[in-house]
A and B are shown apart, each in its own frame.
Chain A
Amino acid sequence: MKRPNQLFRNFSAKIAAIPMIVTALFVFVGGTAWTVVYSFTKSGLLPRLKWVGLDQYERLWTTKRWIVSIQNLAIYGISMLVLVFVIGFILATLIDQKVRFENVIRTVILYPFALSFVVTGLVWQWILNPEFGIQSIIRDLGWTNFAFDPLYNPKIAIFGVLIAGLWQGSGLVMVLMLAGLRGIDQEIWKAARVDGIPAWKTYLFIVIPMMRPVFITTLVLVVSGIVKLYDLIVAQTGGGPGIATEVPAKYVYDMMFGASNLGQGFAASTMMLVTVALIVIPWAMLEFGGKKHG
């Protein structure tokens, strides 16, 4: 239906797309190119074109903290991705059972998203603190050997962050899933019931495939949040104990604004961007490049 003879209406669409095109080219492509260029310089507090070749990258990959950061992000990212989808979807289906007080329940689950990460981190730091958090409460109740101190054990500290991350982020996933569920045609349910298909099968094999667009949106939202994970870490653990919960975005910011070493920060962010580009661009071209109703 979109042929060259309809240039006029396409013209409107092109006019309307100008903000998007400008943003894509000047900010995202331009900004990325700028970052890559300056990653080959010795920029400190200010961006300056003092070329140093690959020095910044050499230092980056010999820094233990950077390697640990990547590992942490992988652990956190995979766990977060799986759990946030499972929890968000289950919550949405529960709420979708035409429950009473839906507004209240939905608000209770969603409100963490309204709070800044700074405080999310602080509150969870308290709750998980062995001295006055959950551990001490349970010990006071009589289980004196109870141990739960994820933030103070370097081996599992990243999961302590995960608890707070899930608490903060699952509400939004729930809302998106709920929006998706409510976009499903009522007739589908009727048909499934008539055919005697159990509810869980209807969800798994009929509803979820129909919610594909919502899943894609949620996926981008969740993954981009994971890649950018920073504020929560700073507020909750500060990257500790030791460097047990360091993440790449924190390395980038600490280098750029803390260490006044823009070049190193840009080299680290270039590595992040290249990785993301290698995964996202082919996937996005496949996902969004096809036919209209995908």
Chain B
Amino acid sequence: MADALESKTTSLRDGPRGPKPRRTFSRRNILLYGTLFVIAVYYAIPLYVMIVTSLKGMPEVRLGNIFSPPLEITFAPWVKAWSEACTGLTCRGLSIGFWNSVRITIPSVIISTIIASVNGYGLANWRFKGANVFFTILIFGSFIPYQVLLYPVVILLREIGLYGDLAGLVIVHTIFGMPILTLLFRNYFSSLPEELFKAARVDGAGFWGIFLRVMLPMSIPIFAVAIILQVTGIWNDFLFGVVYTGPESYPMTVALNNIVNSTQGVVEYNVNMAATIITGLVPLTIYFVSGKLFVRGIAAGAVKG
């Protein structure tokens, strides 16, 4: 096994996943980078539109060419979105909900990811009778529009005395993230070689022992994907945040929605765009960071064989 391991790590260092690249300016490379460039442009255009709009003053926005760069760059929309835009009475922009969003997102992501990874591990390696029935229900649950369950969940939380509490909101995010995350982890753990599991069992490790010492270290890529999903979903959530907590813990998206969705009054597109980019920065940062983890995760993933 040691040999195999070594050969894989070596192959990792020089080995691409796809067919081997050749000279730098080969026809294949020009084609490949050309295609990727065109694709990147398609994906980037809307961001470009958002950024240039966010740097224009309102009179310029009214002129109407969304692609033209700003004649006169102004950062006022950004300042306004972050610290001046009003949510009702409090004119502190997005900044007011920022820490609330952090307080909601961190525990929700951690708890939902832990629970789902344990679920997935149990379903992949320790299946007890009937486990699949619950799993099937869970998968079915991922197709239920959230809003349909809004009121039943209110009643449930009321009964356990957590309605209106931050803990209640964390539970709600854990519940609604559970189907997809459990599926993700279950499939990942199922794809790990069974020999590893068996060897650990022979060594006398139990449910938690194997999970912590064998499975977790090998699961970095899938944790990266799970975290991407959860951070995005929870950070961008608006409805649960307002329905299950009170105004003192409203997340940033309440302010974002108030800025972007106001229908009576002047719609300031430049501020809208700035507000969106600012709100999106946190998930984007996570992508960048976890994207790297995800690549490094290959090294861990490559151990299997």
Which residues of chain A from 1 to 59 have a CB within 8 Å of any chain B CB? 1-2, 9-10, 12-14, 16-17, 19-21, 23-32, 34-35, 47
Instruction: Tell me if A273 counts as interface (CB < 8 A to partner B).
Output: yes
Q: Which of B71-79, B88-96, B142-150 has 4 or more CB atoms under 8 Å from chain A?
A: B142-150
- A281 contacts B147, CB within 8 Å? no
CA distance A115 to B198 in the complex (A): 43
Instruction: Tell me if B99 counts as interface (CB < 8 A to partner A).
Output: no
Partner among A10, A269, A288 whose Cβ is within 8 Å of the Cβ of B132: A288
B171 to chain A, nearest CB (A): 9
Interface of B is mostly: helix
A46 to chain B, nearest CB (A): 9
Report chain A residues within 8 Å CB of B198. 1
Interface string of A179-210 (1 = CB under 8 A from B): 10111111001100100000100000000000
Q: Which of A68-76, A145-153, A154-162, A217-225 has 4 or more CB atoms under 8 Å from chain B?
A: A217-225
- B178 contacts A23, CB within 8 Å? yes
Instruction: Tell me if B162 counts as interface (CB < 8 A to partner A).
Output: no
- B178 contacts A13, CB within 8 Å? no
Instruction: Tell me if A233 counts as interface (CB < 8 A to partner B).
Output: no
Partner among A23, A93, A103, A293 whose Cβ is within 8 Å of the Cβ of B138: A23
CA distance A106 to B294 in the complex (A): 11
Known contacts being A2-B126, A14-B128, A112-B43, is A106 close to B145, with CB within 8 Å?
A: no
- B232 contacts A10, CB within 8 Å? no
Known contacts being A105-B36, A224-B142, A277-B140, is A285 close to B152, with CB within 8 Å?
A: no
A180 to chain B, nearest CB (A): 9
- A97 contacts B39, CB within 8 Å? no
Which residues of chain A from 74 to 126 have a CB within 8 Å of any chain B CB? 91, 93-99, 102-103, 105-116, 118-120, 122-124, 126
Report chain A residues within 8 Å CB of B35. 94
Smallest CB-CB separation from A19: which chain B residue? B115
CA distance A225 to B295 in the complex (A): 26
Report chain B residues within 8 Å CB of A93. 18
Smallest CB-CB separation from A7: which chain B residue? B128
Report chain B residues within 8 Å CB of A285. 132, 136
Partner among A9, A186, A289 whose Cβ is within 8 Å of the Cβ of B12: A186
CA distance A280 to B169 in the complex (A): 28
Interface of A is mostly: helix
Report chain A residues within 8 Å CB of B144. 28, 31-32, 269, 273, 276
Smallest CB-CB separation from B178: which chain A residue? A23
CA distance A132 to B62 in the complex (A): 11
- B138 contacts A193, CB within 8 Å? no
- B140 contacts A281, CB within 8 Å? yes
- A122 contacts B139, CB within 8 Å? no
B112 to chain A, nearest CB (A): 10
- A111 contacts B175, CB within 8 Å? no
Partner among B32, B124, B261, B294 whose Cβ is within 8 Å of the Cβ of A99: B32
- B36 contacts A272, CB within 8 Å? no
Instruction: Tell me if B247 counts as interface (CB < 8 A to partner A).
Output: no
Residue among B21, B143, B182, B280 having the largest count of chain A Cβ atoms under 10 Å: B143
CA distance A23 to B122 in the complex (A): 16
Interface string of B234-271 (1 = CB under 8 A from A): 00101000000000000001001100110000000000
Cβ-closest 4 pairs across A and B: A213-B187, A98-B16, A114-B283, A13-B126
26 contacts between A and B (CB under 8 A): A10-B128, A13-B122, A14-B128, A27-B156, A28-B141, A31-B153, A35-B149, A94-B32, A96-B17, A97-B21, A102-B295, A103-B292, A103-B295, A106-B291, A107-B284, A108-B40, A113-B283, A118-B257, A124-B46, A182-B221, A183-B301, A190-B11, A193-B20, A273-B144, A289-B132, A289-B136
Task: With A113-B283, A220-B180 given, name 6 new contacts (CB 8 A).
Answer: A20-B122, A97-B19, A106-B291, A217-B183, A252-B148, A280-B140
